[in-house]
Amino acid sequence: MPEALSESVTFADVEGAAARVAGRAHRTPVATSRTLDARLSCRLFFKCENLQRAGSFKFRGAFNAMAQLDAGARSRGVLAYSSGNHAQAVALAGRELGIATTIIMPTDAPLVKQRATRGYGGDVVLYDRSLMIDTMVFLWQRMKLIVEPTGVLGIAAALHGVVAVDGRRVGVVLSGGNVELGQAGEWFKGRL
């Protein structure tokens, strides 16, 4: 395993992240409910990340990661795949840091999420989920790989001409683990 992957997150890493997001991310409140405490016989604490910039905790991670990019990476921009909160977080972090962002979103992503992502400065590129399923089937039939739906977006974009790859050397990250076989059976029905 590469050394970077074998390292654990340290307290110093957390402190560094906190310093990078200070003044950028909101310090969201913690709420309580006596009614729920009584009903559940415990003390509940709700961290209100719905009040965070871009509407979720994901802004912290996006900003922290993007703030650590070197000048070369920043100049190339950031590409992300999301239909919601992560999309908005990356677009907002990019705007704050002066980094161009392209967000790949499904055509059926909620309009409010698409508009917010664009409003934060993200260049939104929409894709058709059926192309994703066709790509999953292709990978299964030809490469014997089960890849999760969002894990095929990069290769789907290349296979279906959304992204020009002719003559280029292209790396595509595949991910898996979030595939329910019953759902995959429904997606693949009539395509195998």
Asked which of 112, 127, 142 is the last residue of a domain, the reply is: 127
Based on the domain organization, do 145 and 192 belong to the same domain? yes
Based on the domain organization, do 1 and 16 belong to the same domain? yes
CATH number of the domain that residue 17 is part of: 3.40.50.1100
Based on the domain organization, do 92 and 136 belong to the same domain? no
Based on the domain organization, do 80 and 155 belong to the same domain? no
Based on the domain organization, do 7 and 92 belong to the same domain? yes
Closest CA to 135 of 166, 104, 107, 158: 158
pTM of the complete model: 0.76
Catalytic residue among 58, 113, 144, 175: 58
Give the total number of structural domains in the chain: 2
> pLDDT at position 171, please?
82
175 is catalytic: no
In Å, what is the CA distance from 90 to each residue of 25, 78, 83, 128, 158? 13, 8, 12, 21, 22
Asked which of 127, 148, 170 is the last residue of a domain, the reply is: 127
Based on the domain organization, do 14 and 91 belong to the same domain? yes
Based on the domain organization, do 101 and 145 belong to the same domain? no
Closest CA to 106 of 181, 145, 157: 157
Query: What count of other Cβ atoms lies within 10 Å of the Cβ of residue 165?
Result: 15
Based on the domain organization, do 83 and 112 belong to the same domain? yes
Walking along the chain (192 residues) 10 residues at a time, the average pLDDT comes out as: 63 96 96 95 94 94 97 94 91 98 90 96 90 89 85 85 85 72 76 75
User: Strand 123-127 to strand 101-106: parallel, antiparallel, or no bridges (unpaired)?
Assistant: parallel
Domain that holds residue 181: 128-192
How large is the angle between the packed helices 181-188 and 129-138, nearest 10 degrees? 100
Q: Which residues lie below 8 Å from residue 33, measured CB to CB, with a gap of 6+?
A: 44, 46
> pLDDT at position 150, please?
76
Count of residues making up the chain: 192
> pLDDT at position 168, please?
87
Catalytic residue among 56, 82, 83, 113: 83
